[in-house]
Amino acid sequence: HVGSNCFRSGPCLKMLRLLLLVLSLSFSSACPPGEVACAAGTASAGVCVPHAKISTCQLDIWRNVYADPSARAAALLRNLTLREKLSLLATSPLDGLPNYVERLGLSPPTTNECLHGVCSSGYTVFPQSISLAATFDVDLLSRVGKTIGTELRAGYNEALKQPIAKQRLPICLGPQINIARDPRWGRAQETYGEDPHLTGELAKAYIHGMQGSGRVKLAGSVVKHFDAYNGATSRGSYSISEVTLTYADWEETYLQHWQAAVSEDPVGVMCSYNSLCLVDSYNMSCPAPSHGVPACANFELLQGVLRDEWAFKGFVISDAGAVQFLETDHRYAHSQVEAAALALKAGCDLDLGGGESLGQCRSFS
């Protein structure tokens, strides 16, 4: 404790300067060893970057991979116009509105099929997923995923030489982890089979290998299709169907492997075509007039389970045309605009090309 007169004396001023120096060093040491905070006045001020990457301090914060993802997203949203935000709601352009923002360096939100290799010429093709699962080899799935992620990252680096409208993001639609219980479905070859535990373990390995463990992912994994696609009562229906499950079967068969997959922090989850109705017993039917809630408009599924219960931080993308089908097939919405609104409010962030529902919102921009 010192008197007020002390602050007018030389020793106290020296002490205060020393204290400020210590405080400044304390703030500098907030960065991990080997990193330094970007200086005030730079575009990424305050962001911790490796010494060798100090030049990234000049990047806008949303382009700086060393910045906190939440801060990057917030900064980007502040710089987007409403029309530009609407333009990014779908993977395909609509009504002459491009689905990229060239002035900010935002590529189109494109995706790649990657169930057992990147579905494009020049990439390695591995055996179908059901064959990979038959090995029961978790390490093998991890190495397959890593190869896919590495190849896709290399392809993306090469694509950066192209105009931004032609660039494809290194985002993989895979793995496909639906439980294959009915061969009439026609998509069992895409899955890891009928066992939830095995499916969960293989999915974790595949996602981890594909994305890597670095600050920057090799590629982004989008796990599909959530949830209960080809469920117990779909009768082998390929796409738009009502799936009725007991709560017990849903938890034990159709959720546990999803929770395992989400624990690996995939960048995205794809919501499925089917509707979902939960009952206490298979002797019961879905209460009329309901036929269940379509997955891409199911708030309890996308928000309650996926985000609130499992703390999923990525984005949700519809299956191709699934938002459109809310009106045309499920009769759950009365119009395409209502279908888009229901999906957005439920937690679906992006419309995969093949439907134009979320794109309908763009006409009101």
Angstrom distance (rounded) from CA 106 to CA 88? 9
Angstrom distance (rounded) from CA 262 to CA 128? 22
Cβ neighbors of 320 (< 8 A, separation 6 or more) are: 352, 353, 354, 355
Is the N-terminal amide bond of 33 cis, ω within 30° of 0? no
What is the CB neighbour count within 10 angstroms for residue 101?
20
Closest CA to 206 of 195, 216, 194, 191: 191
What is the CB neighbour count within 10 angstroms for residue 329?
16
Structural tokens at position 358: 């979320």
Phi, psi of 80 (to 5 degrees): -95, 140
Angstrom distance (rounded) from CA 206 to CA 362? 36
- The identity of residue 49, as a single letter, is V
Is the N-terminal amide bond of 257 cis, ω within 30° of 0? no
Active site residue 349: no
Q: How far is CA 245 from CA 180, 262, 278, 292, 330, in A?
A: 15, 22, 5, 10, 18
Count Cβ atoms within 10 A of the Cβ of residue 187 and give its class: 0-12 exposed, 13-18 middle, 19 or more buried.
middle
Which residue is catalytic, options 137, 227, 308, 319?
319
Active site residues: 319
